[in-house]
Structure 1
Amino acid sequence: MSTISSAAPIYPINADTTAGGGSAAGKTDASSDVANRFLTLLVTQLQNQDPLNPLDNAQVTSQLAQLSTVNGINKLNDTLSGLAASFGANQYLQAAGLVGHDVLVPGNSMSLAAGKAAGGFTLPAGTDKVTVTITDGAGQRVRQLDLGKLPAGAQRFEWDGKTDTGVAVKDGSYGISITGTIDGKAVTLDALASGRVTGIVPGSNGTQVQVAGLGLVDLASVKQIN
């Protein structure tokens, strides 16, 4: 009588059963094929087992548990793939609604045009005496805005393009830095740049928005919509 050793696994359940990503239907077929081959091998092993060394029940139970796990993982992967696709579509639709709107995104500069410019910052709770310092291309201070105490969160400010002495400066790019105090101690705050969304770019790593003067920015980096 030919025998099959009970010490060897019935089927390499944990092995990769698909080549590449494949479609959902392909994954389902592969999962069913694994189950069918497993059952065929199990029946064959039971029929040809050595009477003096019968198949261990614990081994059969373990193999069945592994098969169930693989099927469950395949179904979970299909579900996660569907959720990821749905999330990506929702992100794209959300980003599309931003086109034509001004947004605040991480950045430490702002563009002055026709005597108007805007920027922002992220304010932690308990911050007061907020000060915005605007500098030119040489790093020299052009204007200081004392904004006092503001609510926590993303805040937007505007600049009229004038120096501390009221002299209008030329259009262009200017640097911004934000400071404040928390419990009496001076802190540097995260500056935000303001720009208008002109387009959206979907990608495998998430949706990005095209912001005028700032380039591509991750949708998740948008701190405020104006």
Structure 2
Amino acid sequence: MTSTIASSVLSTMNSSSETSESSSSSADALQDEFLTLLTTQLQNQDPTDPLDNSEMVTQLAQISTISSIENVTTTLEGISGQISAAETLQASALVGNGVLIEGNSIQVADGVATTFGVTLGSDADSVTVTVKDSSGSVVATLDVGDMSAGTQALYWDGVQDDGSTAADGSYSFSVSASSDSTAVTATALKYALVTGVTTDSSSQLALDLGGVNDNVGLSDIKLVL
């Protein structure tokens, strides 16, 4: 699949270097203007009433401070631009890949169910997945057994408890986990396909999931399949 990166994302990457050059030029121009004014004042000062040295030193210090602040700003903008570029490259590498995000749906097509998953808050010695159809009826119960803390992918072969193959469509699932009969936090994860890279309403990097799911950020990806 061809990687899709929105033009707004590429524009953001290219603008970082232009912003840095603009800030640097602004600081240089400010220093040049001040030195020009200072030279003019010195050349035209009244010998009986020369410029106050302390005032001149204060002005020089102020200019130096402003220049330093602009240099720091330029450096931070450069770092921010590099981070944005790195995130864009990382996101574009996900295009065409399946990922797991928070959600509790499973899609079945031609008897094949999409991968799903779970994030456990701690180790569990008993994990059970309950699959329901669109009417809310339980169609399959999966005894996963023990699982370690963290995120793991899970699979359903599409076979229902009565031995028949699940019909095509959308199903929901829930995960219950425990350790020594004490409940363990379990967050359900659903499958999504990354189809492109774009930006959201706040101009933040976002992954396009093909319209089947809402766009998400990199931090929303719990596992890359």
Could you say whether these structures have the same fold, taking a TM-score greater than 0.5 normalized by the shorter chain as the test? Answer: yes
Distance 1:87 1:30 in 2: 24
Alignment check: 8 A CA contact 2:119 2:150 kept: yes
Note if contact 1:126-1:183 (Cα within 8 Å) is conserved in structure 2. no
5+ residue gaps, structure 2: 1-17
Shift of 1:42: 6.5
- Distance in 1 separating the partners of 2:126 and 2:219: 29
Can you list the C-alpha shifts for 1:104-157, whole angstroms capped at 9, x where unaligned? 112121211122222111122333312212122232322221212112221111
Q: Which structure has more RCO (C-alpha within 8 Å, separation ≥ 6)?
A: 2
Find the aligned partners of 1:110 and 1:61 in 2 and give their Cα distance: 71
Equivalent position of 2:22 in the other structure: 26
Q: 1:62: Cα distance to partner? A: 5.9
Q: Is the 8 A contact 2:131 2:173 kept in 1?
A: yes
Report the secondary structure of 1:159's partner residue: coil
Pick the aligned partner of 2:125 from 120, 125, 128.
128
Q: Distance in 2 between matches of 1:174 and 1:62?
A: 72
Q: 1:154 maps to what in 2?
A: 151
TM-score normalised to the size of structure 2? 0.72
Q: State the partner residue of 1:139.
A: 136
* In structure 2, distance between residues paired with 1:178 and 1:211: 26
Asked whether the equivalents of residues 98 and 194 of structure 2 are also in contact (C-alpha less than 8 Å), the reply is: yes
CA distance in 2, matches of 1:108, 1:131: 14
Task: Quote the residue 1:222 is aligned against.
Answer: 221
What SS does structure 2 have at the residue aligned with 1:165? coil
Asked which structure has the greater CA Rg, the reply is 1
Name the amino acid aligned to 1:82. G
> Does the CA-based 8 Å contact 2:194-2:208 persist in structure 1?
yes
Task: State the 1:205 CA deviation.
Answer: 0.6
Q: Deviations over 1:8-55 (max 9, x none)?
A: xxxxxxxxxxxxxx843332232223334545667759x67x98xx95
Q: Does 1:84 align with 2:75?
A: no
Q: For 1:164 and 1:24, how far apart are their aligned partners in 2?
A: 63
1:60 and 1:154 map into 2 onto residues whose CA distance is 64
Higher helix share: 2
Verify the 8 A CA contact 1:132 1:178 in the aligned structure 2: yes
Q: Deviations over 1:150-178 (max 9, x none)?
A: 12221111112232222322111111222
* Residue pair 1:209, 1:218 contacting (<8 A) in 2 also: no
* Alpha-carbon distance, 1:183 to partner: 5.7
RMSD: 3.3
Report the alpha carbon displacement of residue 91 of structure 1 after superposing the two structures with TM.
2.3
Is 1:94–2:90 an aligned residue pair? yes
Question: Is 1:209–1:219's contact at 8 Å kept on the other side of the alignment?
Answer: no
Equivalenced residue count is 203
- Native 8 Å contact 2:194 2:207 kept in 1: no
Q: Percent identical across equivalent pairs?
A: 35
